[in-house]
């Protein structure tokens, strides 16, 4: 199920994932090049005790840089920012990342809803939101906001997901632009970023 | 104009009004958090838009109070980040034991979970009689909750896990009594606490302190306000005293950073240096 590709630039990617997240993130992030031209913000539901272990693990495995998000850090291209355990990750205007310990949203902290909603406010229609495998329904409402702001909606095919609940809940709420198996997510992101990379190049000289 | 753009303009006007009328300054708060909280407050209120709410907020203190509760609601838990408390117990307590009396400022104490955690820790280390905890928050309503020390019984299981992981030496249930679905903290714990309303954004310092606790508060502040608050803390903290921040907060790159050493990597316990030896007066 594919819709015609939208001819517009993407400035950032947000990803939400829960059950089966470590494997799913490995698959997607390992296939992204170090030169991936966008920042990627990720909410993965992980145990509060696990600290920054997942970021370190993925950074070791991937060519793209992976780190845990720091407060008031500006998101830059070619970097994956993981929400710290037990904190919401938010995006402010200008791609500045902030953290919060507000109550769990959709039973989760970090919550993909919080990340997606704030990122949609910050990036408007230049955002791609991706929901991958997971139990529960976190991310669906956030994805709806991404759609409402005109961003691109990507959902892992439920049949392909280790846990289909999060993709299904998203599909019930939002009309997706792309429903793809996990193995195709990275190439899709590269394709989406491609238009933006071209666009960026044109703009570089003006800045 | 898009709805969300309009909302941001309305929010800016409302917060400016709140600052001018009530003196509470939220204009230096990180926007994503405050936008979420204001949105939640609005949807739970009878108002359709912030413009509509503004007239009531600015003219009716009760409506303002409900907004204030909505946007300052801080969620806390006992012994959050058990590892932090473990390091505090192992590495800070020995210093505190060398002082005849220890004053601790817990800034942004919210509903008091951290104040009780600290009181429990100090009691187990035999410091209870020699310590005072000054717990402040800008929201008077949460201070009332903190003073009462009554929490949901359902949270106690998680707090017990945290407590044990933090190196707790007793049984956590010794510190509260259960009544229906509530847990009432032992009243002796609150005896060492002083509660007061205080705004980090607008008020002055709080006198000399041996320890300042301010965990997961600065993450809500823009860099300019963060800088102000750290200077405020620095003005209070005695040489050899401690500044404790949340695990994702750091003083790196801030003006005060050069006066502090981090006790353990990534634990965010900073010790204020004594003045350079050449400046020290010989006694």
* pLDDT, tens digit, 9 for 90 and up, residues A126-169: 999 999 999 999 999 999 999 999 999 999 999 999 999 999 99
Structural domain includes residue B167: yes
Q: How confident is the model at residue B142 (pLDDT cuts 50, 70, 90)?
A: confident
| Strand extents, DSSP E, chain B | 102-107, 131-137, 150-152, 176-179, 182-185, 193-197, 209-214, 237-245, 260-262, 269-272
Collect all residues from B whose CB is shorter than 8 A from any CB in A.
4, 30-33, 35-37, 73-76, 80-81, 216, 218-220, 222-223, 246-250
Residue B73 has pLDDT above 80, yes or no: no
Asked if A102 lies within 8 A of B37 by C-beta distance, the reply is: yes
Q: Please report, for the domain that includes residue B123, its CATH number.
A: 3.40.50.150
Q: Which two tokens stand for residue A144?
A: 């709806």
Asked if A100 lies within 8 A of B249 by C-beta distance, the reply is: no
Query: How far is A54 from A42, CA to CA, in rounded Å?
Result: 12
Give the model's pLDDT for residue A115: 98
Q: Which of B32, B223, B248 is nearest residue A91 as measured by Cβ atoms? A: B32
Structural domain includes residue B282: no
First to last CA, chain A: 39
Q: Are residues B114 and B32 in the same domain?
A: no
Query: How far is B218 from B232, CA to CA, in rounded Å?
Result: 13
> How many CB pairs below 8 Å do chains A and B form together?
60
Give the model's pLDDT for residue A201: 37
Measure B223 CA to nearest chain A CA, in Å.
8
Q: Are residues B129 and B231 in the same domain?
A: yes
ipTM of this predicted structure: 0.89
Q: Are residues B104 and B68 in the same domain?
A: no
Q: Which domains does chain A have, with CATH numbers?
A: 12-204 (3.40.50.180)
Measure A91 CA to nearest chain B CA, in Å.
7
Give the model's pLDDT for residue B275: 76
Query: How far is A120 from B63, CA to CA, in rounded Å?
Result: 30
| Least-confidence region, from A122-126, B142-146, B184-188 | B142-146
Domain residues for B199?
Answer: 82-277
* pLDDT, tens digit, 9 for 90 and up, residues B42-52: 999 999 999 99
Tell me the chain A residues in contact with residue B37 when contact means C-beta distances shorter than 8 Å: 102
Residue B266 has pLDDT above 90, yes or no: no
Q: Are residues B66 and B89 in the same domain?
A: no
Asked if B4 lies within 8 A of A102 by C-beta distance, the reply is: no
Q: Are residues B273 and B140 in the same domain?
A: yes
Query: How far is B237 from B214, CA to CA, in rounded Å?
Result: 13
The last residue of a domain, from among B40, B72, B104: B72
Q: Are residues B56 and B193 in the same domain?
A: no
Measure A206 CA to nearest chain B CA, in Å.
27
Closest to A75 measured CA to CA, from A91, A52, A59, A55: A91
Measure A184 CA to nearest chain B CA, in Å.
32
Give the model's pLDDT for residue B206: 80
Among A9, A59, A113, A138, the one annotated catalytic: A138
Give the model's pLDDT for residue B280: 47
Which stretches of chain A drop beneath a pLDDT of 50? 196-207
For residue A117, whether the previous peptide bond is cis, meaning omega lies within 30 degrees of 0, is: no
Across B86-104, average pLDDT: 97
Asked if A101 lies within 8 A of B4 by C-beta distance, the reply is: no
Across B195-214, average pLDDT: 93
The last residue of a domain, from among B72, B107, B123: B72
* pLDDT, tens digit, 9 for 90 and up, residues B224-251: 999 999 999 999 999 999 999 999 999 9
């Amino acid at each position: 199920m594919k819709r015609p590709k939208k001819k517009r630039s993407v400035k950032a990617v947000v990803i939400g994932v829960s059950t089966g997240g470590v494997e799913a993130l490995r698959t997607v992030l390992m296939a992204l090049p170090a030169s991936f031209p966008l920042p990627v913000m990720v909410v993965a539901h992980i145990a509060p005790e696990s600290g920054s272990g997942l970021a370190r693990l993925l950074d070791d495995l991937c060519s793209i840089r992976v780190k845990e998000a720091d407060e008031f850090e500006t998101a830059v291209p070619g970097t994956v920012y993981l929400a710290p355990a037990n904190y919401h990750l938010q995006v402010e205007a200008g791609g500045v990342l902030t953290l919060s310990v507000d109550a769990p949203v959709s039973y989760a902290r970090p919550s993909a809803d919080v990340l997606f909603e704030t990122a949609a406010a910050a990036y408007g229609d230049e955002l791609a939101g991706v929901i991958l495998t997971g139990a529960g329904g976190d991310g669906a409402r956030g994805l709806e906001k991404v759609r409402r702001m005109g961003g691109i909606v990507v959902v892992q095919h439920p049949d392909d997901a280790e846990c289909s609940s999060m993709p299904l809940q998203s599909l019930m709420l939002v009309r997706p632009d792309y429903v793809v198996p996990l193995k195709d997510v990275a190439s899709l992101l590269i394709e989406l970023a491609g238009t933006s990379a071209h666009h960026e190049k044109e703009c570089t000289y003006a800045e | 104009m898009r709805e969300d753009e309009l909302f941001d303009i309305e929010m800016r006007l409302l917060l400016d009004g709140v600052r001018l009328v009530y003196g509470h300054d939220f204009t230096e708060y990180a926007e994503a958090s405050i936008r979420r909280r204001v949105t939640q407050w609005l949807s739970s209120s009878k108002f359709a838009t912030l413009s509509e709410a503004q007239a009531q907020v600015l003219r009716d203190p009760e409506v303002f109070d409900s907004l204030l509760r909505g946007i300052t609601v801080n969620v806390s838990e006992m012994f959050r980040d058990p590892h932090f408390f473990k390091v505090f117990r192992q590495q800070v307590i020995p210093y505190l034991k060398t002082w005849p009396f220890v004053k601790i400022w817990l800034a942004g104490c919210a509903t008091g979970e951290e104040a009780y955690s600290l009181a429990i820790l100090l009691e187990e280390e035999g410091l209870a009689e020699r310590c005072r905890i000054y717990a402040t928050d800008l929201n008077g309503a949460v201070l009332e909750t903190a003073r009462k020390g009554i929490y949901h019984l359902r949270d106690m299981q998680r707090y017990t896990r945290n407590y044990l992981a933090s190196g707790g030496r007793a049984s956590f249930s010794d510190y509260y009594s259960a009544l229906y679905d509530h847990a009432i903290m032992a009243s002796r714990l609150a005896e060492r606490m002083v509660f007061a309303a205080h705004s980090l954004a607008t008020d002055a310092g709080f006198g000399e302190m041996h320890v300042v606790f301010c965990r997961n508060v600065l993450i809500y502040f823009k860099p300019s306000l963060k800088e102000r608050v750290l200077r405020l803390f620095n003005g209070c903290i005695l040489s050899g005293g401690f500044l404790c921040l949340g695990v994702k907060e750091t003083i790196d790159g801030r003006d005060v950073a050069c006066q502090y050493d981090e006790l353990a990597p990534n634990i965010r316990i900073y010790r204020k240096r004594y003045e350079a030896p050449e400046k020290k007066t010989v006694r």
